[in-house]
Chain A
């Protein structure tokens, strides 16, 4: 589905431009659907929290009751109110798998179409900065967070970078780089911010989900790190099992949902497990068709915000 157009290992600019336009046209409806769903989730108009000390309000603050009685009912600011939500600013990194496993089937194409769709939805929303990273054996910045991403040109320059010929999928390096990138971006943002904004950082990984299983354990502390730094990581597994393999073997691909792995125990007896059983990402969703992505992503983010706010 994809090929390299010039010696630099980059797709030609005009080809990338055509791709961007084609993907944008194809995903327009989905993009609009995603942006309207995300608007409700990412920009709350009403806070879900009750707080403060007031003479009237919505709910009693239990901690204030005893001082209230002890003060002979003089310290009567015992009510909590719904606070005005603070304005949220987002920094969102879309991390696209550029490894060659993505190019062996149509996962690569699905990832690029999703990238265009999600990027369009986010830029329409104007919720903050959007950046794009590519990863394989190495991590590269395809689009800086601080750069505007509204034009076709900017989009085409991103697509140029993805050729799916990196010879490994180093997810640990991706997470490390993402955390560092966000830490630096938070500092930049803090310098420029008005102070009233609440900064949220979100990484969306678009990948076929094939990570060396021995890395699963190494990823866990990194995911904890991300959580402590208040970086949310969502893994979107591009699972194109429905389409036939382009490798020419004529075998229908197995969905990553059913994919198994074989290991040998110390006794030399093979043991077979479901690959996803050790998959370390707590927030992941599996996308078989592009059409599934808007509601699946919205539902996942809604769940996450509900957990964060509870």
Chain B
């Protein structure tokens, strides 16, 4: 069967599952899965987690681990680099960041 490549169109969404090992910033069970824009990066994901309807923590900078490595690209680039499609659900482990969240940062 022909395999279509996972090039995300503009406005595409990916389903993510947020997990963390830090007890004080756990999300309630019903909020752990979310559809997010495929072109989102660390900064956008951080903003979502901090938002009122998620953790309501205003300004904790987060880093995200996918399969044990830090996410340095957009989710769609991560999918592309790993031969995955937009149909895949990505598990993102979030941790408090040690680097400040600068929008212009290269990752």
In the complex, the answer to whether B86 meets A261 with C-beta atoms within 8 Å is: no
How many angstroms between the C-alpha atoms of A150 and B87 in the bound complex? 34
In the complex, the answer to whether B19 meets A168 with C-beta atoms within 8 Å is: no
In the complex, the answer to whether A270 meets B35 with C-beta atoms within 8 Å is: no
In the complex, the answer to whether B4 meets A261 with C-beta atoms within 8 Å is: no
Task: Give chain B's interface residue range (CB within 8 Å of chain A).
Answer: 20 to 34
Taking a contact as CB atoms closer than 8 A, the residue among A258, A262, A275 that contacts B30 in the complex is A258
Residues in B with CB closer than 8 Å to A268 are 47
Given A168-B87, A213-B35, is A251 in contact with B30 using a C-beta cutoff of 8 Å? no
Give, as a whole number of angstroms, the nearest-CB distance from A295 to chain B.
27
Closest residue on chain B to residue A211 by CB atoms: B13
How many angstroms between the C-alpha atoms of A260 and B52 in the bound complex? 14
Inter-chain contact total with CB atoms closer than 8 Å = 95
Q: Mark B17-34, 1 if CB is under 8 A from A, else 0.
A: 101000000000111111
How many angstroms between the C-alpha atoms of A259 and B54 in the bound complex? 13
In the complex, the answer to whether B33 meets A212 with C-beta atoms within 8 Å is: no
How many angstroms between the C-alpha atoms of A272 and B50 in the bound complex? 12
A166 within 8 A of B: yes
Given A167-B3, A261-B13, A261-B34, is A101 in contact with B89 using a C-beta cutoff of 8 Å? yes
How many angstroms between the C-alpha atoms of A251 and B90 in the bound complex? 12
Residues in A with CB closer than 8 Å to B4 are 137, 166-168
Residues in B with CB closer than 8 Å to A270 are 44, 47-48, 51
Residues 65 to 95 of chain B near chain A (Cβ within 8 Å):
85-89, 91
How many angstroms between the C-alpha atoms of A213 and B37 in the bound complex? 10
Closest residue on chain B to residue A163 by CB atoms: B1
Residues 87 to 134 of chain A near chain B (Cβ within 8 Å):
99-101, 104
Give, as a whole number of angstroms, the nearest-CB distance from B45 to chain A.
9
How many angstroms between the C-alpha atoms of A269 and B54 in the bound complex? 13
Residues in B with CB closer than 8 Å to A167 are 3-6, 85-87
In the complex, the answer to whether A101 meets B87 with C-beta atoms within 8 Å is: yes
Inter-chain pairs besides A166-B87, A259-B35, 16 sampled, C-beta below 8 Å: A100-B85, A167-B4, A167-B85, A167-B86, A168-B4, A168-B87, A212-B12, A214-B9, A247-B89, A247-B91, A249-B19, A261-B13, A264-B44, A270-B48, A272-B34, A272-B54
- Chain B interfacial positions (CB closer than 8 Å to A): 1, 3-6, 9, 11-13, 15, 17, 19, 29-37, 44, 47-48, 51, 53-54, 85-89, 91
